[in-house]
Amino acid sequence: MARVTITQVAARAGVSVASASRALNGLIASAETVAKVRDAARELGYVADATAQSLKRGRTLQLGYAVADIGNPVYVEMMAAIERVVSASGYRLLLSSTGTASSSVDVVRDLGRGYVDGLILSPLRVTDELLAALAAAPIPLVVLGRLPDSAEFDTVRADSLTAMRLVVDHLVAAGRRDIAFVNGPADTTPGGMRREGFIAAAANHRDLRTRHIDASDFTIAAGYDAALPLLDRTDRPTAVVAANDLIGVGVLRAAEDLGITVPADLAVTGVDDTELAEVVRPGLTSVDLGAKERGRAAAEMLLARIADPARPAHTVTVPPSLVVRGSSSASAPSALRRPELIDEEKAHG
Amino acid sequence: MARVTITQVAARAGVSVASASRALNGLIASAETVAKVRDAARELGYVADATAQSLKRGRTLQLGYAVADIGNPVYVEMMAAIERVVSASGYRLLLSSTGTASSSVDVVRDLGRGYVDGLILSPLRVTDELLAALAAAPIPLVVLGRLPDSAEFDTVRADSLTAMRLVVDHLVAAGRRDIAFVNGPADTTPGGMRREGFIAAAANHRDLRTRHIDASDFTIAAGYDAALPLLDRTDRPTAVVAANDLIGVGVLRAAEDLGITVPADLAVTGVDDTELAEVVRPGLTSVDLGAKERGRAAAEMLLARIADPARPAHTVTVPPSLVVRGSSSASAPSALRRPELIDEEKAHG
DNA sequence: CTGAAAGCGCTAACAT
DNA sequence: ATGTTAGCGCTTTCAG
């Protein structure tokens, strides 16, 4: 089972390696040569070595996906969507987990090693160091998430502002006027954007009482811990907007333990519309941020940039859609159809 | 930002490429040479090209993980565990999704292209074709899941027999004597093993009534559809053993819709102990099959085989542990501590 | 300790 | 249409 090289195939077919290569790659060659080479290759069990091809061609046919936390359902959904596009285009997908902010910088720097032709990066925190590394990146790169507006990169992002507006408007329409926002860590990109969105959305309404708490993490446990003191008081809010579904489920658990009835005494909403939101009772009203669409868009954008390195930077914004469930409404569940996504070219100059 | 090669570094340092290579790789070289080369490399921003190194060294420092369904929480958990081990060992992780059985065969065949140094494969169905491909694989390979006993491969597997025994014994101890098994597709490896386990476990008890249904898939929707006709009859079972948590949640939903109280009128159990089981109400009693441990063990096993290709085939079996929740018991939740895993060498000859 | 040179397996000029 | 040859960027003999 030792490695079979194209030299052996050529020898067996009685032609030069060049002819063998051409025949195998469907380039110009006589029918007879093609037949001989094909046969020889089959008999020997030849498969071209990917590394040698990469070195010669200058492309690896590999793309990378770097994400802070594999295991988070949202990133998994994106990953699955990315994998679909990537493998359909003949590329392989490389996965890296970038726990800390600095390790995502490392990943970007490491791109110089040339083991991928492009990278999709989903950073949890955007530091100046990371922006500098991005600007210096030697290969195409798409950022999944919000960047400073000044940065000219290909980007796919959710619309947190609209998302929070959908949620707040829905709660206000349902008669809730005392709304608490339970965020995750505010120094993360999603934390920052959702906070901003909540504030802007609340500002649209008169006579609203709002409060803000940061859970220590985007998890059920952190959501529970943050909600407990918030809900265990006489002047507790009548609605809680959680920054993601996990926190939202934590809030539901806290309410349950405190004997607070949802939605009668308290409405709760989440963000991301994960399977959890659907499975929990009462079902958790949530805004779908379009993880699948974002993943697909990012992968397609990366392929487009690889195909045309000169094209201007694009920013695709995936619109959110509200899915109403029992945690915020006594009536039947409903969902809005997702609007079309928005693709903008970055003006140059 | 054009590619910097070792030749340029050598030129700048005023040494030969050979010396530059040696200095960079910590091989034998004078302190002065090392200093000059290091400086030149830093100034030029040199990073060694991974592809060229791979070609020369004959190793890619890449490992693959091929799985039928990314997105299934269990495989995600394994993947996360694998990624941790792999990246800690200086390897990169490549992900492939093998929807169909034949595509997993393709993945194994494609290994001849040499883009990874080893592969972890988690096949949903084991066909003769796949076994043949495995036997012919040119690189180290670990199978996550059950194989025919005759096959001499490195394998990591769950102990479905014990798992089903834990569940059935628990239900019987709780006084349930009419137990239905809602399986996923029986022609899959997990489906087959869990079915077998359920039958064996039931055989340990006298006067047990059992029934078997196959859901069309390991999903909530399929579990719901399978459970509805089973539960909507006067002689419905007093307990349902679901082949995984998703099906289990489907069963809970069906019971809910039929107005059947869990656990008073019906006990339900799942398999995998995913986050879903914890979050659902009542909590779903489930057997943890040790996805994380299996992932870690598989990755370590693969690295061990790469380090020593001659070592005998190992089979690691990860023991299950039962986590009792409200869906099968009115009393407080409880979990057994996980026993140690079992590592056997395959006898040769 | 260092440099020259070979060569990993393949593709792409270039010449025929 | 085919063969010869160079070379992708690197590591590793082999002389010196």
Kindly tell me if the per-residue pLDDT of A349 is higher than 50: no
Grade residue A330 by pLDDT with cuts at 50, 70 and 90.
confident
d(CA B277, CA B270): 8
Strand D nucleotides in reach of protein CB atoms, 7 A cut-off: 1-5, 7-13
CB–CB contact B84 A97 (8 Å): yes
CB-strand contact A5/C, under 7 Å: yes
A147-161, A309-323, B82-96, B283-297: least confidently modelled range: A147-161
SS3 assignment, position A52: helix
Chain segment B145-179, per-residue pLDDT in tens: 998 887 789 999 999 999 999 999 999 999 999 99
Chain segment B304-327, per-residue pLDDT in tens: 999 999 999 999 999 999 999 999
Q: How many CA atoms lie within 13 A of A314 on its CB side?
A: 23
Residue A141 at interface with chain B, using a CB cutoff of 8 Å: no
Residues 6+ apart with CB under 8 A from A136: B1
How far does the CA of residue A133 sit from the closest CA of chain B (Å)?
13
Best A83, A279, A327 residue to mutate vs chain B (most B CBs within 10 Å)? A279
CB–CB contact B70 A48 (8 Å): no
What pLDDT was estimated at residue A335?
A: 64
Q: Which residue gives the smallest C-alpha to C1' distance to C12?
A: A18
Q: What is the residue-averaged pLDDT of chain A?
A: 93
- pTM greater than the 0.85 cutoff: yes
| Residue A288 main-chain phi, psi, to 5 deg | -80, 120
The spacing between the Cα labelled CA in A20 and the C1' in C11, in angstroms, equals 11
Chain centroid offset of residue B96 CA: 13
Percent of chain B with pLDDT over 90: 85
Identity at A225, one-letter amino acid code: D
Residue A220 at interface with chain B, using a CB cutoff of 8 Å: yes
- Length of chain B, please? 349
Kindly tell me if the per-residue pLDDT of A347 is higher than 80: no
Kindly tell me if the per-residue pLDDT of A120 is higher than 50: yes
Nucleotide at minimal C1' distance from the A32 CA: D1
d(CA A200, CA A188): 18
Sheet with A239-242: strands ordered across? A209-214, A178-183, A239-242, A267-271, A285-288, A321-324, A334-335
Are A205 and A176 within 8 A, CB to CB?
Answer: no
**CB-CB: which of B60, B76, B97 is closest to A51?**
B60
Residue B274 at interface with chain A, using a CB cutoff of 8 Å: no
CB–CB contact B115 A279 (8 Å): no
What pLDDT was estimated at residue B334?
A: 65
Tokens of B187: 């022609």
Enumerate long-range contacts of B127-133, CB under 8 Å, 24 or more apart. Answer: B127/B101, B129/B102, B129/B105, B130/B101, B130/B104, B130/B105, B133/B105, B133/B108, B133/B109
Q: Which residue gives the smallest C-alpha to C1' distance to D2?
A: A19
d(CA B69, CA B246): 14
Mean pLDDT of B197-221: 96
Are B296 and B81 within 8 A, CB to CB?
Answer: yes
d(CA A254, CA A234): 15
CB-strand contact B60/C, under 7 Å: no
CB–CB contact A249 B110 (8 Å): no
All residues of chain A having their beta carbon less than 8 Å from the beta carbon of residue B1 are: 136, 138
d(CA B52, CA A276): 46
Kindly tell me if the per-residue pLDDT of B217 is higher than 50: yes
Percent of chain B with pLDDT over 70: 96
Place of tokens 């709002």: A210
How far does the CA of residue B200 sit from the closest CA of chain A (Å)?
32
For residue B242, CA distances in Å to A166, A180, A200, B247 come to: 38, 39, 46, 6
How far does the CA of residue A121 sit from the closest CA of chain B (Å)?
16
